[in-house]
Amino acid sequence: MTTTINENSHPALVGSLRPASPSVKLINFSPGPTSLPKAVEDEIAASFQKPGLTSLALSHRSPEFLDILNHVTSSVRRIMEIPDDYEVLFTHGGGHGQFAAVPLNLCHNTSDVATYIVNGTWTERASEEAQRYCTVQAIDGRDPQTGGYTTFPELKEEDIDPKSKYVFLCSNETVNGVELHRLPRLPESRREIPLVIDASSDFTTKPIDWHADGVGVLFACASKNIGHPGVTLTIVRKDLLGKDKASPFCPGVFNYTTNVEADNLWNTAATFNIEVVSFLMDWLEREGGVAENERRSIAKSRILYDVIDNSDGFYSTPVQDKKLRSRMNIPFNIKGGDEKLTEEFLIQSWNEGIVGLRTLTPFGVGDYLRASLYNAITEEDAAALADFMQQFASKYSA
């Protein structure tokens, strides 16, 4: 259902991200695209003050850009401990592009089977897209009691076709607030089937055991945790490459083998966007790498979940299993979804510079507000939202 925006609505109610006044500092909790860490934004700004051409004007085949590409590729490999038997690609089309690219690369025929673990908005959409290119067998991840996407299903041998070309899952369902803090292991008899991971919203926030977890493909669109919209980091295990493996209808721009053989330069690369990923990776390494980033992610999310869990029901969140609660995206409602109180919350928080908690989509505004705690959000930012939530609850809980 499409939401009609009333032009006379308060800016906070239509998803405005501008400050209430020039003096108000913004804290952007948007689910993506979202802000970059301030230090990264400063480094990007400084790069535009240097003599010579910036990455906005560099040819993707110039030695200057090749230096950028080589640097970011080696940085990603080092920081995320990506083994040598994986290729690192910078692909086009965002996460939605990979919803098509994955089956087009891993399924030669439409009769080839792929298993999708559907436990949220993005795996649902990914499986629908894949049905155009292969035969999808879905594992239903809905909570059997509530019918909602608030859990993750047990992976049983009998539910995974042994002929599956891959098993697809999303490690963090941003809309539903369900996160796998470590990747699941397939049943032993299915371990040879490669895992395909949509890690768009949690990449860099926790370690990945590439071989032990059986990762075949992992992709992350940049606009949540690693950069600017317009490029997707796609990591592919080498044994899955080959001209004879992809669908004959796979476009060159999506073909993993074609792009690997062309060293990421089969067509014009997103030069500026790739350099932004490079700046982010350098920042992450200076900050202590993935281990420190995971510590911060745990701390930030705990600050907000503590407020929700100790609010005597004033706030609630749909995911009750704390082992599955997302550290990246925290959905919450106010007094069971009281709309007038929710609107008041949005207006008052917007006046305080707290923005991005409700975004308009083609499907409406959703049943929950959502605080997204990507790399740009600090522990102090999370504490500022928590303080506001506590003050608001104290005022309106009666």
Indicate which CATH number applies to the domain containing 366: 3.90.1150.10
Residues 306 and 248 in one domain: no
Residues 208 and 347 in one domain: no
Residue 1, burial from CB neighbour count under 10 angstroms (0-12, 13-18, 19+): exposed
Under a CB-based contact definition with an 8 Å cutoff, are residues 108 and 135 in contact? no
For residue 137, the surrounding DSSP H or E stretch is strand 135-140
Cα–Cα distance for residue pair 52/58, rounded to 1 Å:
10
The catalytic residue among 122, 202, 300, 335 is 122
Structural domain tally of the chain? 2
Residues 346 and 379 in one domain: yes
What is the predicted pLDDT for the residue at 96? 97
Residue ending a domain, among 242, 265, 285, is 285
Q: Is residue 245 part of a domain?
A: yes
Residues 378 and 266 in one domain: no
Residues 78 and 145 in one domain: yes
Angle (CA) 291-294-295 rounded to 5° is 90
Residues 224 and 319 in one domain: no
Q: Is residue 28 part of a domain?
A: no
* Other beta carbons less than 10 A from residue 125's beta carbon: 16
Averaged over successive runs of 10 residues, the pLDDT of the chain (398 residues) comes to 56 92 95 96 95 95 97 98 98 97 98 98 97 98 92 97 98 97 97 98 98 98 96 98 95 98 97 98 98 98 98 97 98 96 97 93 79 98 98 94
- Show contacts of 309-313: CB within 8 Å, 24+ apart: 311/389, 311/393, 311/397, 312/397
224 is annotated as an active-site residue: yes
What three-state secondary structure class fits 375?
A: coil
Residue ending a domain, among 257, 285, 313, is 285
Which backbone phi and psi does 145 adopt, to 5 degrees? Answer: -85, -45
Q: Is residue 120 part of a domain?
A: yes
Residues 281 and 365 in one domain: no
Cα–Cα distance for residue pair 255/154, rounded to 1 Å:
32
Which of 97, 218, 220 shows the shortest CA–CA distance to 167?
A: 218
Residues 205 and 222 in one domain: yes
What three-state secondary structure class fits 179?
A: strand
Residues in the chain: 398
What three-state secondary structure class fits 111?
A: coil
What is the predicted pLDDT for the residue at 359? 79
Q: Taking each helix axis as running N to C, give the angle between helix 38-47 and helix 271-286, from 0 to 180 degrees, rounded to the nearest 10.
A: 130
Q: Is residue 35 part of a domain?
A: no
Q: Is residue 37 part of a domain?
A: no
Q: Is residue 25 part of a domain?
A: no
What is the predicted pLDDT for the residue at 4? 46
For residue 312, the surrounding DSSP H or E stretch is none
The catalytic residue among 206, 224, 300, 335 is 224
Q: Is residue 30 part of a domain?
A: no
Q: Hey, what are 329's tokens?
A: 């995206």
The catalytic residue among 165, 198, 210, 381 is 198
What is the predicted pLDDT for the residue at 365? 75
Q: Hey, what are 330's tokens?
A: 């925290």
Cα–Cα distance for residue pair 123/141, rounded to 1 Å:
10
Which backbone phi and psi does 93 adopt, to 5 degrees? Answer: 90, 0
Under a CB-based contact definition with an 8 Å cutoff, are residues 316 and 333 in contact? yes
What is the predicted pLDDT for the residue at 1? 32
Residue ending a domain, among 251, 285, 319, is 285
Under a CB-based contact definition with an 8 Å cutoff, are residues 123 and 173 in contact? yes
Under a CB-based contact definition with an 8 Å cutoff, are residues 14 and 353 in contact? no
210 is annotated as an active-site residue: no
Q: Is residue 26 part of a domain?
A: no
Residues 374 and 242 in one domain: no
What is the predicted pLDDT for the residue at 371? 98
Residues 238 and 305 in one domain: no
Residues 218 and 331 in one domain: no
Under a CB-based contact definition with an 8 Å cutoff, are residues 110 and 134 in contact? yes
Domain containing residue 141: 46-285
* Other beta carbons less than 10 A from residue 45's beta carbon: 9
Residues 243 and 326 in one domain: no
